[in-house]
Amino acid sequence: MSPTPDTAANDDAPRLAPELLYLLERLPRERWDTQAAHGTAGVWRAMHESLRHGQHQLQTLGQRWLDKDLDWVGFRRLALPLLDAHLGHLHGHHRLEDQHYFPAMRRAEPRLAAGFDLLARDHETIDAAVRQLHGLRHELTHVNPAEAAAWGCAHALVREASVCGTLLLRHLADEEDLVIPLLALREGGQHAA
């Protein structure tokens, strides 16, 4: 899979237009540890840190495989539960956002609609990467370790996990720029002007 223009890994240009960052200007990241550490904003941040941690674990395992610190059987033994936990967590988080949180946030702050459109496109792209990883996870479960296909499956899984990680980390940062100030300001009794 290859990233879309919205999620290209080597594109460091901001994806959120300045007019979508008016809440972030009111509550910049450097104040989040004191003003967005509790309530729903704090829970959201913790959830994203958990997703980053799961992605990091998956990519660290992949690097161990590439560095030949693990044999194939050891890689599979560690990869299967890690994939189950991380991909399940990611899928559940996105489903909750798509079905509940993002529609409510669109109603609460219509000026952010274009930003939520971008996040929805990200979800589609990330979900495609997750489906690819689920397929490779299934293959990893059933492939015969004595066959060359087993090694190809492990390499493909490491490669796709890295692609998914690039997409995910960019998405989480953009999502936080929209959502964390919105939640924290509203919970603090401040509404957008």
- pLDDT tens for the chain, 193 residues long, are 434 444 444 456 679 999 999 999 999 999 999 999 999 999 999 999 999 999 999 999 999 999 999 999 999 999 999 999 999 999 999 999 999 999 999 999 999 999 999 999 999 999 999 999 999 999 999 999 999 999 999 999 999 999 999 999 999 999 999 999 999 999 876 655 4
Does 1.10.645.10 match the CATH number of domain 39-187?
no
Task: Determine the Cα–Cα distance for residues 138 and 172; give it in Å rounded to an integer.
Answer: 27
Q: Tell me the domain boundaries of the chain.
A: 39-187
Q: State how far the alpha carbon of 123 is from the alpha carbons of 7, 69, 105, 128, 168, in Å.
A: 11, 33, 16, 8, 9
Q: Which residue in this structure is represented by tokens 């956002």?
A: 97
Cα atoms in the Cβ-side hemisphere of radius 13 Å centred on 62: 21
Task: Determine the Cα–Cα distance for residues 45 and 182; give it in Å rounded to an integer.
Answer: 13
